[in-house]
Chain A
Amino acid sequence: MMNTIPRIGQLYSLQVVKHLVILIAMLLATIVHGQNSPLTIISNPKGCPTEMKESELKSIFLGERQRWRTGDKIQVALMKTNTSIGKNTCGRMYNMTEDELKKYWLALVFQGKAEAPAFFNTVGELQNFVSENPGAIGIIDQSPTVSGIQVVSIDGKQTL
Protein backbone atom coordinates (compact mmCIF):
# COMPACT_ATOMS: atom_id res chain seq x y z
CA MET A 1 0.00 0.00 0.00
CA MET A 2 2.78 2.32 0.97
CA ASN A 3 4.20 2.00 -2.56
CA THR A 4 0.93 2.48 -4.48
CA ILE A 5 -0.27 5.69 -2.79
CA PRO A 6 2.60 7.84 -4.06
CA ARG A 7 2.14 6.36 -7.54
CA ILE A 8 -1.54 7.36 -7.64
CA GLY A 9 -0.53 10.79 -6.31
CA GLN A 10 2.14 11.10 -8.96
CA LEU A 11 -0.31 10.09 -11.71
CA TYR A 12 -2.84 12.61 -10.42
CA SER A 13 -0.20 15.36 -10.36
CA LEU A 14 0.86 14.44 -13.87
CA GLN A 15 -2.72 14.80 -15.11
CA VAL A 16 -3.06 18.20 -13.45
CA VAL A 17 0.22 19.37 -14.95
CA LYS A 18 -0.88 18.11 -18.40
CA HIS A 19 -4.14 20.02 -18.18
CA LEU A 20 -2.34 23.11 -16.99
CA VAL A 21 0.14 22.91 -19.89
CA ILE A 22 -2.71 22.51 -22.40
CA LEU A 23 -4.59 25.45 -20.84
CA ILE A 24 -1.52 27.69 -20.89
CA ALA A 25 -0.75 26.67 -24.49
CA MET A 26 -4.34 27.49 -25.51
CA LEU A 27 -4.16 30.82 -23.70
CA LEU A 28 -0.84 31.69 -25.32
CA ALA A 29 -2.15 30.64 -28.74
CA THR A 30 -5.16 32.93 -28.27
CA ILE A 31 -2.95 35.83 -27.20
CA VAL A 32 -0.45 35.26 -30.01
CA HIS A 33 -3.28 34.88 -32.52
CA GLY A 34 -4.90 38.08 -31.26
CA GLN A 35 -1.67 40.05 -31.38
CA ASN A 36 -0.54 38.86 -34.79
CA SER A 37 -3.76 38.11 -36.62
CA PRO A 38 -4.46 40.18 -39.74
CA LEU A 39 -6.37 43.40 -39.15
CA THR A 40 -9.48 44.27 -41.11
CA ILE A 41 -10.49 47.86 -41.67
CA ILE A 42 -14.23 48.32 -41.54
CA SER A 43 -16.31 51.43 -42.07
CA ASN A 44 -19.79 52.75 -42.36
CA PRO A 45 -20.62 52.87 -46.11
CA LYS A 46 -21.39 56.60 -45.80
CA GLY A 47 -18.31 58.77 -46.14
CA CYS A 48 -15.42 56.33 -46.23
CA PRO A 49 -14.24 55.07 -49.65
CA THR A 50 -14.00 51.31 -50.23
CA GLU A 51 -10.26 51.47 -50.85
CA MET A 52 -7.37 53.69 -49.86
CA LYS A 53 -3.60 53.79 -49.46
CA GLU A 54 -1.96 52.73 -46.20
CA SER A 55 -0.44 56.21 -45.75
CA GLU A 56 -3.92 57.73 -46.03
CA LEU A 57 -5.28 55.20 -43.55
CA LYS A 58 -2.55 55.99 -41.01
CA SER A 59 -3.22 59.70 -41.38
CA ILE A 60 -6.89 59.07 -40.57
CA PHE A 61 -6.11 56.91 -37.53
CA LEU A 62 -3.63 59.54 -36.28
CA GLY A 63 -6.48 62.07 -36.20
CA GLU A 64 -4.96 64.21 -38.94
CA ARG A 65 -8.12 64.32 -41.02
CA GLN A 66 -11.44 65.62 -39.75
CA ARG A 67 -13.73 64.82 -42.68
CA TRP A 68 -14.13 62.47 -45.61
CA ARG A 69 -14.26 63.92 -49.11
CA THR A 70 -18.04 63.58 -48.94
CA GLY A 71 -18.05 66.02 -46.02
CA ASP A 72 -18.99 63.38 -43.45
CA LYS A 73 -17.17 63.68 -40.15
CA ILE A 74 -14.56 60.98 -39.53
CA GLN A 75 -15.13 59.00 -36.33
CA VAL A 76 -12.36 56.59 -35.37
CA ALA A 77 -13.33 53.40 -33.53
CA LEU A 78 -10.69 51.30 -31.78
CA MET A 79 -10.61 48.30 -29.51
CA LYS A 80 -9.39 49.15 -25.98
CA THR A 81 -5.62 48.89 -25.68
CA ASN A 82 -5.88 46.14 -23.06
CA THR A 83 -7.54 43.78 -25.57
CA SER A 84 -5.44 41.60 -27.86
CA ILE A 85 -6.74 43.43 -30.97
CA GLY A 86 -6.06 46.75 -29.26
CA LYS A 87 -2.46 45.71 -28.56
CA ASN A 88 -2.10 44.50 -32.17
CA THR A 89 -3.48 47.82 -33.45
CA CYS A 90 -1.06 49.85 -31.27
CA GLY A 91 1.93 48.04 -32.70
CA ARG A 92 0.95 47.64 -36.33
CA MET A 93 -1.08 50.75 -37.06
CA TYR A 94 0.58 53.25 -34.73
CA ASN A 95 4.02 51.78 -33.97
CA MET A 96 3.36 52.78 -30.36
CA THR A 97 2.99 51.07 -27.01
CA GLU A 98 -0.43 51.08 -25.36
CA ASP A 99 0.58 53.94 -23.03
CA GLU A 100 2.09 55.93 -25.91
CA LEU A 101 -1.14 55.62 -27.88
CA LYS A 102 -3.29 56.76 -24.96
CA LYS A 103 -0.99 59.70 -24.25
CA TYR A 104 -0.89 60.61 -27.95
CA TRP A 105 -4.68 60.93 -28.06
CA LEU A 106 -4.91 62.68 -24.69
CA ALA A 107 -2.39 65.29 -25.89
CA LEU A 108 -4.17 65.78 -29.20
CA VAL A 109 -7.54 66.28 -27.48
CA PHE A 110 -5.93 68.60 -24.90
CA GLN A 111 -4.54 70.73 -27.74
CA GLY A 112 -8.02 70.91 -29.25
CA LYS A 113 -6.70 69.39 -32.47
CA ALA A 114 -8.86 66.26 -32.62
CA GLU A 115 -11.66 64.33 -31.02
CA ALA A 116 -10.70 61.18 -29.17
CA PRO A 117 -11.53 57.85 -30.81
CA ALA A 118 -14.32 55.70 -29.41
CA PHE A 119 -12.80 52.71 -27.57
CA PHE A 120 -14.62 49.37 -27.19
CA ASN A 121 -14.33 46.19 -25.14
CA THR A 122 -15.73 43.81 -27.76
CA VAL A 123 -15.65 43.50 -31.54
CA GLY A 124 -19.45 43.34 -31.52
CA GLU A 125 -19.76 46.74 -29.81
CA LEU A 126 -17.26 48.26 -32.23
CA GLN A 127 -19.11 46.88 -35.25
CA ASN A 128 -22.43 48.18 -33.96
CA PHE A 129 -20.91 51.66 -33.49
CA VAL A 130 -19.49 51.66 -37.03
CA SER A 131 -22.74 50.46 -38.58
CA GLU A 132 -24.78 53.09 -36.73
CA ASN A 133 -22.54 56.14 -37.31
CA PRO A 134 -21.97 57.62 -40.78
CA GLY A 135 -18.30 58.45 -41.26
CA ALA A 136 -17.15 55.86 -38.71
CA ILE A 137 -14.09 53.70 -39.40
CA GLY A 138 -12.63 50.99 -37.19
CA ILE A 139 -10.24 48.07 -36.89
CA ILE A 140 -11.13 44.46 -36.08
CA ASP A 141 -9.41 41.11 -36.64
CA GLN A 142 -12.17 39.25 -38.47
CA SER A 143 -14.67 39.65 -41.28
CA PRO A 144 -17.58 41.86 -40.24
CA THR A 145 -20.57 40.02 -38.83
CA VAL A 146 -22.92 43.00 -38.62
CA SER A 147 -24.87 44.39 -41.56
CA GLY A 148 -24.35 48.01 -42.65
CA ILE A 149 -20.56 47.72 -42.65
CA GLN A 150 -18.07 47.64 -45.52
CA VAL A 151 -14.54 46.29 -45.59
CA VAL A 152 -12.01 48.89 -46.73
CA SER A 153 -9.21 47.50 -48.86
CA ILE A 154 -5.77 48.98 -48.17
CA ASP A 155 -3.33 49.09 -51.11
CA GLY A 156 -5.55 46.49 -52.79
CA LYS A 157 -5.53 44.09 -49.83
CA GLN A 158 -8.50 43.10 -47.66
CA THR A 159 -6.38 42.84 -44.48
CA LEU A 160 -3.35 44.54 -43.01
Chain B
Amino acid sequence: MINPHLILAQKTEIKGFIDVRTWYDKEKEKLSFGLGEQDLFITSTLSDRFSFLGETVFKYDASSTTKFSVSIERIVLKYNVGGNHNILLGKHHTPLNYWNDTYHHGRLFFPTIDRPLLFSSEIIPIHTTGIDFQGHDLGSLRFGYDLMFGNGLASDDVVDNDAHKSITAAVHIKPANNLRIGASFYNDIISAGSTVHGEVHPHQVDQHQYSASIAYFGKKFELLTEGALVTNKTDSTGTKQTISTYIYGGYKLNEKLTLYFRLDQQQFEEGEVYFHPDDATLLLLGSRCQINYLTVVKLEYQYKEDQPGGEDSPARFQNLITAQVAIGF
Protein backbone atom coordinates (compact mmCIF):
# COMPACT_ATOMS: atom_id res chain seq x y z
CA MET B 1 0.00 0.00 0.00
CA ILE B 2 1.23 3.50 -0.80
CA ASN B 3 0.97 5.96 2.02
CA PRO B 4 -1.24 8.83 0.71
CA HIS B 5 0.65 11.36 2.86
CA LEU B 6 3.85 10.50 1.01
CA ILE B 7 2.14 11.21 -2.31
CA LEU B 8 0.91 14.58 -1.02
CA ALA B 9 4.38 15.44 0.31
CA GLN B 10 6.01 14.95 -3.10
CA LYS B 11 5.03 17.79 -5.38
CA THR B 12 6.54 17.22 -8.83
CA GLU B 13 6.29 19.59 -11.76
CA ILE B 14 7.48 19.08 -15.33
CA LYS B 15 8.09 21.96 -17.72
CA GLY B 16 9.60 22.12 -21.16
CA PHE B 17 11.27 24.74 -23.31
CA ILE B 18 12.07 24.76 -27.00
CA ASP B 19 12.99 27.21 -29.71
CA VAL B 20 12.92 27.26 -33.48
CA ARG B 21 14.66 29.76 -35.66
CA THR B 22 15.34 30.94 -39.15
CA TRP B 23 18.35 32.96 -40.27
CA TYR B 24 19.86 34.55 -43.30
CA ASP B 25 23.66 34.50 -43.70
CA LYS B 26 24.73 37.37 -45.94
CA GLU B 27 28.22 35.97 -46.64
CA LYS B 28 26.88 32.53 -47.62
CA GLU B 29 23.79 34.05 -49.23
CA LYS B 30 21.39 31.48 -47.85
CA LEU B 31 18.37 31.19 -45.65
CA SER B 32 18.14 28.33 -43.13
CA PHE B 33 15.64 26.93 -40.69
CA GLY B 34 16.71 25.15 -37.53
CA LEU B 35 15.60 23.57 -34.31
CA GLY B 36 17.05 24.69 -31.00
CA GLU B 37 17.37 22.61 -27.87
CA GLN B 38 14.39 20.87 -26.34
CA ASP B 39 14.79 21.35 -22.63
CA LEU B 40 12.93 19.13 -20.17
CA PHE B 41 12.83 20.57 -16.69
CA ILE B 42 11.65 18.75 -13.58
CA THR B 43 11.34 20.00 -10.01
CA SER B 44 10.19 17.95 -7.08
CA THR B 45 9.68 18.79 -3.43
CA LEU B 46 10.74 15.63 -1.63
CA SER B 47 10.23 16.71 1.96
CA ASP B 48 10.18 19.80 4.14
CA ARG B 49 13.92 20.33 3.52
CA PHE B 50 14.86 18.24 0.47
CA SER B 51 14.06 19.16 -3.11
CA PHE B 52 15.22 18.01 -6.54
CA LEU B 53 15.82 19.81 -9.82
CA GLY B 54 16.64 18.12 -13.10
CA GLU B 55 17.28 19.59 -16.52
CA THR B 56 17.73 17.34 -19.56
CA VAL B 57 18.36 18.65 -23.04
CA PHE B 58 17.66 16.93 -26.35
CA LYS B 59 19.63 18.56 -29.11
CA TYR B 60 21.08 18.14 -32.58
CA ASP B 61 24.34 16.20 -32.61
CA ALA B 62 26.05 15.52 -35.93
CA SER B 63 28.13 12.71 -34.42
CA SER B 64 25.10 10.72 -33.28
CA THR B 65 23.57 8.09 -35.58
CA THR B 66 20.13 9.58 -34.93
CA LYS B 67 21.58 13.11 -35.31
CA PHE B 68 20.25 13.92 -31.85
CA SER B 69 21.74 13.43 -28.40
CA VAL B 70 20.52 13.67 -24.84
CA SER B 71 22.53 15.50 -22.22
CA ILE B 72 21.99 15.93 -18.51
CA GLU B 73 22.52 19.64 -17.90
CA ARG B 74 21.58 19.82 -14.25
CA ILE B 75 20.77 17.35 -11.51
CA VAL B 76 20.63 19.10 -8.18
CA LEU B 77 19.58 17.71 -4.84
CA LYS B 78 19.00 20.63 -2.49
CA TYR B 79 18.92 20.51 1.29
CA ASN B 80 17.77 23.55 3.22
CA VAL B 81 20.03 23.87 6.27
CA GLY B 82 17.97 26.67 7.78
CA GLY B 83 16.73 30.11 6.82
CA ASN B 84 18.03 30.94 3.35
CA HIS B 85 21.09 28.67 3.58
CA ASN B 86 21.23 25.56 1.39
CA ILE B 87 23.55 22.74 0.46
CA LEU B 88 23.28 21.61 -3.16
CA LEU B 89 24.76 18.38 -4.45
CA GLY B 90 24.96 17.25 -8.06
CA LYS B 91 25.65 18.70 -11.47
CA HIS B 92 25.17 22.46 -11.48
CA HIS B 93 25.50 25.41 -13.75
CA THR B 94 28.65 26.94 -12.23
CA PRO B 95 27.40 29.99 -10.29
CA LEU B 96 29.78 32.37 -12.03
CA ASN B 97 28.05 35.72 -12.18
CA TYR B 98 24.67 36.42 -13.73
CA TRP B 99 23.96 34.76 -17.08
CA ASN B 100 25.22 31.28 -16.24
CA ASP B 101 23.39 31.26 -12.92
CA THR B 102 20.15 32.76 -14.22
CA TYR B 103 19.15 31.67 -17.72
CA HIS B 104 20.39 28.07 -18.14
CA HIS B 105 19.00 26.43 -21.29
CA GLY B 106 15.53 27.96 -21.49
CA ARG B 107 15.74 30.34 -24.48
CA LEU B 108 12.42 31.76 -23.32
CA PHE B 109 14.29 33.68 -20.63
CA PHE B 110 17.29 34.85 -22.67
CA PRO B 111 17.18 38.59 -23.38
CA THR B 112 18.90 37.88 -26.74
CA ILE B 113 18.65 34.90 -29.09
CA ASP B 114 21.92 33.26 -28.02
CA ARG B 115 24.43 33.35 -25.19
CA PRO B 116 27.22 35.94 -25.14
CA LEU B 117 30.65 34.92 -26.49
CA LEU B 118 31.90 34.65 -22.91
CA PHE B 119 29.85 31.45 -22.64
CA SER B 120 29.65 30.18 -26.22
CA SER B 121 33.47 30.41 -26.58
CA GLU B 122 33.81 27.97 -23.67
CA ILE B 123 35.78 30.44 -21.55
CA ILE B 124 33.45 30.05 -18.57
CA PRO B 125 33.20 26.52 -17.16
CA ILE B 126 29.46 26.18 -17.75
CA HIS B 127 28.91 23.09 -15.58
CA THR B 128 30.42 21.78 -12.37
CA THR B 129 29.65 18.49 -10.67
CA GLY B 130 30.16 18.85 -6.95
CA ILE B 131 28.83 20.44 -3.79
CA ASP B 132 27.63 24.03 -3.37
CA PHE B 133 27.06 25.92 -0.13
CA GLN B 134 24.60 28.63 -1.01
CA GLY B 135 22.81 31.49 0.70
CA HIS B 136 20.58 34.21 -0.70
CA ASP B 137 18.66 37.37 0.22
CA LEU B 138 20.44 37.86 3.53
CA GLY B 139 20.14 41.18 5.35
CA SER B 140 19.04 44.54 4.03
CA LEU B 141 21.37 44.37 1.00
CA ARG B 142 19.96 40.94 0.12
CA PHE B 143 23.43 39.43 0.10
CA GLY B 144 23.94 36.07 -1.58
CA TYR B 145 26.87 33.66 -1.75
CA ASP B 146 27.99 30.41 -3.36
CA LEU B 147 30.99 28.34 -2.38
CA MET B 148 31.34 25.35 -4.65
CA PHE B 149 33.81 22.48 -4.79
CA GLY B 150 33.69 20.30 -7.88
CA ASN B 151 35.40 17.77 -10.07
CA GLY B 152 36.52 20.57 -12.32
CA LEU B 153 37.49 20.84 -15.95
CA ALA B 154 38.45 17.68 -17.85
CA SER B 155 36.35 15.58 -15.45
CA ASP B 156 33.12 13.93 -16.46
CA ASP B 157 29.79 13.73 -14.65
CA VAL B 158 30.57 10.56 -12.74
CA VAL B 159 34.21 10.74 -11.67
CA ASP B 160 37.02 13.25 -11.25
CA ASN B 161 39.96 12.79 -13.62
CA ASP B 162 42.51 13.95 -11.03
CA ALA B 163 42.94 14.86 -7.36
CA HIS B 164 42.47 18.61 -7.92
CA LYS B 165 39.14 20.17 -7.06
CA SER B 166 37.72 23.24 -8.74
CA ILE B 167 36.76 26.07 -6.41
CA THR B 168 34.06 28.60 -7.19
CA ALA B 169 33.36 31.49 -4.83
CA ALA B 170 30.66 33.98 -5.77
CA VAL B 171 28.96 36.82 -3.93
CA HIS B 172 26.24 39.26 -4.92
CA ILE B 173 24.03 41.95 -3.46
CA LYS B 174 20.65 43.30 -4.51
CA PRO B 175 20.73 46.84 -3.10
CA ALA B 176 17.58 47.94 -4.96
CA ASN B 177 14.66 46.27 -6.69
CA ASN B 178 15.66 44.65 -10.02
CA LEU B 179 19.36 45.42 -9.44
CA ARG B 180 21.98 42.74 -8.79
CA ILE B 181 25.73 43.32 -8.48
CA GLY B 182 28.01 40.32 -8.28
CA ALA B 183 31.62 39.14 -8.31
CA SER B 184 33.09 35.67 -8.54
CA PHE B 185 36.27 33.67 -8.51
CA TYR B 186 37.13 30.30 -10.02
CA ASN B 187 40.23 28.16 -9.75
CA ASP B 188 41.08 24.80 -11.19
CA ILE B 189 44.16 22.83 -12.12
CA ILE B 190 43.86 20.89 -15.36
CA SER B 191 46.27 17.95 -15.21
CA ALA B 192 48.74 17.25 -17.97
CA GLY B 193 47.26 14.88 -20.56
CA SER B 194 43.65 15.91 -19.81
CA THR B 195 41.08 16.24 -22.57
CA VAL B 196 39.00 19.40 -22.44
CA HIS B 197 36.53 20.45 -25.15
CA GLY B 198 37.77 17.61 -27.32
CA GLU B 199 41.43 18.58 -27.17
CA VAL B 200 44.30 16.93 -25.28
CA HIS B 201 46.39 19.33 -23.19
CA PRO B 202 49.95 17.99 -22.78
CA HIS B 203 50.86 20.44 -20.00
CA GLN B 204 49.30 21.12 -16.63
CA VAL B 205 47.25 24.34 -16.65
CA ASP B 206 46.59 26.39 -13.53
CA GLN B 207 43.48 28.45 -14.26
CA HIS B 208 42.13 31.45 -12.34
CA GLN B 209 39.02 33.37 -13.32
CA TYR B 210 37.92 36.69 -11.85
CA SER B 211 34.59 38.08 -12.97
CA ALA B 212 32.03 40.74 -12.13
CA SER B 213 28.52 41.57 -13.25
CA ILE B 214 25.84 44.23 -12.97
CA ALA B 215 22.25 43.40 -13.87
CA TYR B 216 19.28 45.74 -13.86
CA PHE B 217 15.93 44.74 -15.34
CA GLY B 218 13.50 47.56 -14.67
CA LYS B 219 10.10 48.52 -16.01
CA LYS B 220 11.57 50.63 -18.81
CA PHE B 221 15.32 49.99 -19.04
CA GLU B 222 17.43 46.85 -18.94
CA LEU B 223 21.18 46.64 -18.42
CA LEU B 224 23.35 43.57 -18.10
CA THR B 225 27.10 43.61 -18.23
CA GLU B 226 29.67 41.00 -17.29
CA GLY B 227 33.40 40.76 -17.59
CA ALA B 228 35.87 37.98 -16.95
CA LEU B 229 39.63 38.00 -16.66
CA VAL B 230 41.10 34.51 -17.02
CA THR B 231 44.71 33.53 -16.46
CA ASN B 232 46.05 30.20 -17.65
CA LYS B 233 49.51 29.28 -16.41
CA THR B 234 51.67 26.47 -17.73
CA ASP B 235 55.35 25.72 -17.05
CA SER B 236 56.26 26.13 -20.70
CA THR B 237 54.25 29.25 -21.69
CA GLY B 238 54.01 31.11 -18.40
CA THR B 239 50.84 33.07 -17.55
CA LYS B 240 48.55 34.12 -20.40
CA GLN B 241 45.55 36.39 -19.95
CA THR B 242 42.16 36.30 -21.65
CA ILE B 243 39.59 39.06 -21.28
CA SER B 244 35.98 38.62 -22.30
CA THR B 245 33.17 41.11 -21.71
CA TYR B 246 29.72 41.98 -22.94
CA ILE B 247 27.18 44.70 -22.35
CA TYR B 248 23.47 44.33 -23.05
CA GLY B 249 21.02 47.22 -23.01
CA GLY B 250 17.27 47.12 -23.53
CA TYR B 251 14.50 49.67 -23.78
CA LYS B 252 10.88 48.63 -23.36
CA LEU B 253 8.67 50.42 -25.85
CA ASN B 254 5.63 48.95 -24.15
CA GLU B 255 4.58 45.94 -22.09
CA LYS B 256 5.26 43.54 -24.99
CA LEU B 257 8.03 45.02 -27.10
CA THR B 258 11.68 45.62 -26.16
CA LEU B 259 14.44 46.99 -28.37
CA TYR B 260 17.95 45.90 -27.44
CA PHE B 261 21.61 45.76 -28.31
CA ARG B 262 24.52 43.67 -27.12
CA LEU B 263 28.22 44.24 -27.65
CA ASP B 264 30.65 41.39 -26.94
CA GLN B 265 34.42 41.52 -27.01
CA GLN B 266 37.03 38.95 -26.27
CA GLN B 267 40.79 39.06 -26.49
CA PHE B 268 43.35 36.31 -26.01
CA GLU B 269 46.99 36.98 -25.20
CA GLU B 270 49.48 35.71 -27.76
CA GLY B 271 50.72 32.25 -26.85
CA GLU B 272 47.50 31.15 -25.12
CA VAL B 273 47.43 27.34 -25.25
CA TYR B 274 44.37 26.29 -23.26
CA PHE B 275 41.60 28.23 -25.06
CA HIS B 276 41.15 28.40 -28.81
CA PRO B 277 42.36 31.97 -29.40
CA ASP B 278 39.68 33.83 -31.30
CA ASP B 279 39.79 37.59 -30.79
CA ALA B 280 36.27 38.68 -31.58
CA THR B 281 33.85 41.59 -31.57
CA LEU B 282 30.15 40.96 -31.89
CA LEU B 283 27.34 43.48 -32.16
CA LEU B 284 23.67 42.62 -31.90
CA LEU B 285 20.69 44.83 -32.58
CA GLY B 286 17.31 43.29 -31.98
CA SER B 287 13.74 43.42 -30.85
CA ARG B 288 11.95 41.08 -28.49
CA CYS B 289 8.20 40.62 -28.45
CA GLN B 290 6.76 38.94 -25.37
CA ILE B 291 3.55 37.44 -26.75
CA ASN B 292 2.71 36.02 -23.33
CA TYR B 293 4.75 34.61 -20.47
CA LEU B 294 5.33 31.35 -22.36
CA THR B 295 6.02 32.71 -25.84
CA VAL B 296 8.63 35.16 -27.03
CA VAL B 297 9.63 36.17 -30.56
CA LYS B 298 13.01 37.78 -31.25
CA LEU B 299 14.36 39.35 -34.41
CA GLU B 300 18.07 40.12 -34.44
CA TYR B 301 20.80 41.47 -36.67
CA GLN B 302 24.29 40.24 -35.80
CA TYR B 303 27.64 41.49 -36.99
CA LYS B 304 30.70 39.49 -35.94
CA GLU B 305 34.34 40.03 -36.71
CA ASP B 306 36.87 37.51 -35.45
CA GLN B 307 40.28 35.94 -36.00
CA PRO B 308 39.89 32.24 -35.24
CA GLY B 309 43.55 31.47 -35.84
CA GLY B 310 44.91 34.19 -33.56
CA GLU B 311 46.36 37.63 -34.20
CA ASP B 312 48.25 36.72 -37.39
CA SER B 313 45.34 34.99 -39.09
CA PRO B 314 42.98 36.74 -41.52
CA ALA B 315 39.86 38.36 -40.10
CA ARG B 316 36.48 36.74 -40.68
CA PHE B 317 33.21 38.64 -40.99
CA GLN B 318 29.68 37.48 -40.43
CA ASN B 319 26.37 39.22 -41.03
CA LEU B 320 23.30 37.36 -39.85
CA ILE B 321 19.64 38.16 -39.56
CA THR B 322 17.90 35.72 -37.25
CA ALA B 323 14.34 35.26 -36.08
CA GLN B 324 13.56 32.97 -33.17
CA VAL B 325 10.40 31.75 -31.48
CA ALA B 326 11.01 30.39 -27.99
CA ILE B 327 8.28 28.79 -25.96
CA GLY B 328 7.67 27.15 -22.62
CA PHE B 329 5.15 24.38 -22.21
- Residues of A participating in the B interface, judged by any CB pair closer than 8 Å: 59, 64-67, 71, 73, 97, 99-100, 102-103, 106-107, 109-113, 115-116
Q: Are A112 and B78 in contact (CB under 8 A)?
A: yes
Q: Are B13 and A116 in contact (CB under 8 A)?
A: yes
Main secondary structure of the interface of B (DSSP, over half): strand
A51 CB to nearest B CB, Å:
19
How many chain B residues have a CB neighbour from A under 8 Å?
A: 31
Contact with A along B81-121 (1 / 0, CB 8 A): 01110101000000000000110101001000000000000
A107 touching B13 in the complex, CB below 8 Å, given contacts A67-B80, A99-B293: no
Q: Are A106 and B102 in contact (CB under 8 A)?
A: no
In the assembled complex, B167 has its CB within 8 A of some CB on chain A: no
- Residues of B participating in the A interface, judged by any CB pair closer than 8 Å: 13, 15, 41, 43, 45, 48-49, 51, 53, 74, 76, 78, 80, 82-84, 86, 88, 101-102, 104, 106, 109, 136-137, 142, 255, 290, 292-293, 328
Q: Are B137 and A109 in contact (CB under 8 A)?
A: no
A99 touching B76 in the complex, CB below 8 Å, given contacts A64-B136, A64-B142: no
Q: Are B82 and A106 in contact (CB under 8 A)?
A: no
Report chain A residues within 8 Å CB of B106.
Answer: 110
Q: Are B293 and A103 in contact (CB under 8 A)?
A: yes
Report chain A residues within 8 Å CB of B290.
Answer: 99, 103
A65 touching B78 in the complex, CB below 8 Å, given contacts A73-B48, A103-B293, A115-B51: no
Q: Are A113 and B76 in contact (CB under 8 A)?
A: no
Report chain B residues within 8 Å CB of A113.
Answer: 136
B289 CB to nearest A CB, Å:
12
Q: Are A66 and B83 in contact (CB under 8 A)?
A: yes
Beyond the given pairs A99-B292, A103-B293, 14 more chain A to chain B contacts, judged by CB atoms under 8 angstroms and listed by A's residue number, are: A64-B137, A66-B80, A66-B84, A66-B86, A71-B82, A99-B290, A100-B293, A110-B15, A110-B41, A111-B101, A111-B102, A112-B78, A115-B45, A116-B13
Report chain B residues within 8 Å CB of A109.
Answer: 13, 43
* Nearest chain A residue, comparing its CB with the CB of B84: A66
Q: Please list 24 pairs of residues, one from A and one from B, whose beta carbons are closer than 8 Å in the complex, sorted by A's number.
A: A59-B137, A64-B137, A65-B84, A66-B83, A67-B80, A67-B82, A67-B84, A73-B48, A73-B49, A73-B80, A97-B255, A99-B255, A99-B290, A106-B293, A106-B328, A107-B102, A110-B41, A110-B104, A110-B106, A110-B109, A112-B78, A113-B136, A115-B45, A115-B51
A121 CB to nearest B CB, Å:
18
A99 to B292 CA separation, bound complex (whole angstroms): 6
Report chain A residues within 8 Å CB of B86.
Answer: 66
A141 to B222 CA separation, bound complex (whole angstroms): 34
Report chain A residues within 8 Å CB of B43.
Answer: 109, 112, 115
Q: Which 8 A-B pairs have the closest CB atoms?
A: A64-B137, A103-B293, A102-B293, A99-B293, A112-B53, A66-B84, A99-B292, A107-B109
Which listed residue (A65, A103, A107) contacts B137, Cβ 8 A?
A: A65
A106 to B39 CA separation, bound complex (whole angstroms): 14
* Nearest chain A residue, comparing its CB with the CB of B255: A97
A67 CB to nearest B CB, Å:
6
Report chain B residues within 8 Å CB of A102.
Answer: 293
* Nearest chain B residue, comparing its CB with the CB of A109: B43
